[in-house]
Amino acid sequence: MKTLTPASSALQGAEAKPFWTSGANAPENLASLEAHTSCDLAIVGGGLTGLWAGIEAKIENPDLDVVILESQQIAFGASGRNGGFFSESLTHGLAHGLSLWPKEIDTLLRLGRENVSEIFKFLDSEKINAEQNFCGKSVMALRPHHVKELEASFKQLLKYGENVEFLDGEETRKDIDSPTYLASLRIHDGSGILDPAKLSWGLRQSAIARGVRIYEMTRVTGLSKSRTSVLLHTAHGIVTANKVILATNAFHPLLRRMRNMAIPVFDHVLVTEQLSQAQLDSIGWKQNQGVTDAGNQFHYYRRTPDNRILWGGYDAIYYKGSQRDISPERYAPSHELLAEQFFQTFPQLEGLNFTNKWAGMIDTTSRFTPVIGRAFGGKVAYAFGYTGLGVTSSRFGAKVALDFIANRESELTQLALVARKPIPFPPEPIRSLLVSKTRASLAREDIDGKRGPWLGLLDRMGVGFNS
Ligand SMILES: Cc1cc2nc3c(=O)[nH]c(=O)nc-3n(C[C@H](O)[C@H](O)[C@H](O)COP(=O)(O)OP(=O)(O)OC[C@H]3O[C@@H](n4cnc5c(N)ncnc54)[C@H](O)[C@@H]3O)c2cc1C
């Protein structure tokens, strides 16, 4: 009989479903569309982008008739599967923003701060408890070259007035105990963690209370134009809308022009059983902050309010042809790898089991920042491509999309981040080859700390991470 490794053994009882949405507090399903209908604004997709678009549209004009069409349930997609890290950054970090939009960075930083502050003000006013914790985050150096990179980030963040600390190895391990840590950057403000399902379900309730009609299990199969409206086709009937917002993230795009703007990359996540007091004491982690590694292929991890650890990332996988219909069996090697790496990071937790394992699609653009634009002569807007940082920037995407369909020139629509679209991905088979080459180069840089000619070229083209 084959003996199980500690990682395989820890995964044995794990259910293949997202931890956040599988709790007992999930709301009742909403009815699907049953007949043709019409509305002022139809939103396709009931994740955070779609929910914010619906709510903000109603805040602007309470009389607007707004419909959300969701192919499964609210928060079925990335919005119910993510790590729950929230951030003020609209640019995937300061260094990345500075390298792409140096002239706009102060505006982008301000808009990001305002976005997060308005989100939490809204949650307070609606009494939505998303278990938000403004605990900041730590970035861990696991290799000597990470230490130098974190020192450079530390100086850059200080220059921009951020509340940051640089901790050496001993100080880091005193804070959170792992033999893998060589140093860390502790970022105190502007970020934290929350429960993404509670956030989505809270917004769902606010949308319904404002009169937004939400139809679940209602997939939009295509769009077409009539003389004055946009028609959304579903198996249950046609929705005739004056305006449309597409909030379909990494799922199959409904517009041809969206196909090359983002690719679906599968990201994998595990959640452990609850830790005992002795296990908690063995890791410290008293400030509960979110944690990421400093590498390109990085883990992100955090504690949950009921003292589990969510552990995800590292092994992001693109399937040739932008395949989206991937069976859970295909994720198994990534979950095994994640479990092994978990026990390398926290060997003192050997024997701890995982209760949940899942994967989700990350809508990755070549610039790692969202694409927000318009089509059908301004009747349709789309917002997607947050590339793994959409828990709070999805509201920014929704607000820009609302400006677009209202035909409003605003501070948001004029941003270069919005006006200039990222470089599109080439078609297959070149797409797969480029993704593999980039992935291998990023993995090499993680080992030797050298950027290499391929990543250097991509940096000069404004593609991917420059940080
Ligand atoms: C594993 C993972 C971890 C992540 N971790 C973080 C994190 O810690 N912090 C962070 O900021 N971001 C994170 N992200 C990214 C973040 O979750 C997303 O950017 C954000 O949730 C995007 O929200 P959305 O509404 O645009 O997309 P989604 O939540 O994916 O919603 C899109 C919805 O559209 C529906 N849909 C698609 N096509 C149709 C159609 N034709 N008809 C009807 N409905 C349709 C889908 O069913 C889905 O519900 C993570 C993502 C993943 C996958």
With a 6 A CB cut-off, is 394 part of the ligand 1 pocket? yes
Q: What is the mean pLDDT of residues 160-167?
A: 96
Q: Which two tokens stand for residue 178?
A: 């792992």
Domain that holds residue 449: 430-461
Identity at 439, one-letter amino acid code: R
User: For a pocket test of ligand 1, which of 82, 299, 309 has the largest count of ligand atoms closer than 8 A to its C-beta?
Assistant: 82
pLDDT score, position 451:
85
Output the residue whose Cα is nearest ligand 1's atom 2.
Answer: 82
Q: Is residue 343 part of a domain?
A: no
Q: How far is the CA of 216 from the centre of ligand 1 (A)?
A: 15
What percent of the chain has pLDDT above 90? 88
pLDDT at position 8, please? 93
Q: How far is CA 77 from CA 73, 190, 194, 312, in A?
A: 9, 25, 17, 16
Q: Is 220 in the pocket of ligand 1 (CB under 6 A)?
A: yes
Centre of ligand 1 from the C-alpha of residue 384, in Å = 9
**Ligand 1 touching residue 48 (CB < 6 A):** yes
Assigned domain for 444 exists: yes
Question: Is the CB of residue 33 below 6 angstroms from any atom belonging to ligand 1?
Answer: no
- Evaluate: CB of 360 within 6 angstroms of ligand 1: yes
| C-alpha neighbours within 13 Å on the C-beta side of residue 377 | 8
pLDDT at residue 457, rounded to an integer: 85
Residues contacting residue 223 through CB under 8 Å, at least 6 positions apart? 230, 231, 232, 233, 244, 254, 255, 376, 380
Q: Say yes or no to pLDDT of 340 above 70.
A: yes
Q: With 50 as the cut, is the pLDDT of residue 289 above it? A: yes
The rounded Å distance from CA 178 to ligand 1 centre is 31
Average pLDDT over residues 446-461: 85
Tell me if 437 is assigned to some domain. Answer: yes
Confidence of residue 82 (pLDDT cuts 50, 70, 90): very high
Q: Which of 71, 116, 371, 372 to mutate to test the pocket of ligand 1 (most atoms within 8 A of CB)?
A: 71
Ligand 1 binding pocket mutation candidate from 20, 67, 204, 391 (most atoms within 8 A of CB): 391
pLDDT recorded at residue 3: 77
Sole residue written with tokens 């002795």: 278
Please tell me the predicted confidence (pLDDT) of residue 2. 67
How many domains in the chain?
Answer: 1
How far is the centre of ligand 1, averaged over its atoms, from the C-alpha of 169 (Å)? 36
The atom number, within ligand 1, closest to the CA of 69 reads 43
Name the percent of the chain lying above pLDDT 70.
99
The average pLDDT across 196-206 equals 98
Give the pLDDT confidence of 111-159 residue by residue, as tens digits. 999 999 999 999 999 999 999 999 999 999 999 999 999 999 999 999 9
C-alpha distance from residue 442 to each of 183, 185, 311, 447, 456 (Å) = 21, 21, 21, 9, 11
In a domain, 174, yes or no: no
The answer to whether position 47 is within a domain reads no
Whether residue 37 has pLDDT greater than 60: yes
Measured CA to CA, the distance from residue 428 to residue 234 in angstroms comes to 29
Beta bridge partners of 176: 284
Residue 467, pLDDT score? 40
Q: Whose CA is nearest to atom 37 of ligand 1?
A: 248
Mean pLDDT, residues 401-407: 98
Q: Ligand 1 center to residue 347 CA distance, Å?
A: 33
What is the distance, to the nearest Å, from the Cα of residue 296 to the centroid of all Cα atoms in its chain? 16
Nearest to 128 by CA among 31, 195, 69, 175: 195
- Asked, for residue 455, whether it belongs to a domain, the answer is yes
Rg, Å, the chain Cα set: 22
pLDDT in tens, 233-272: 999 999 999 999 999 999 999 999 999 999 999 999 999 9
Asked if pLDDT for residue 407 goes beyond 80, the answer is yes
Model pLDDT, residue 1 = 61
Q: Is 386 in the pocket of ligand 1 (CB under 6 A)?
A: yes
Span 161-187, mean pLDDT?
97
Mean per-residue pLDDT of the chain: 95
Residue 140 domain-assigned (yes or no): no
Q: Is residue 107 part of a domain?
A: no
Question: Is residue 49 lining ligand 1, measured as CB closer than 6 Å?
Answer: yes
C-alpha of residue 266 to centroid of ligand 1, in Å: 12
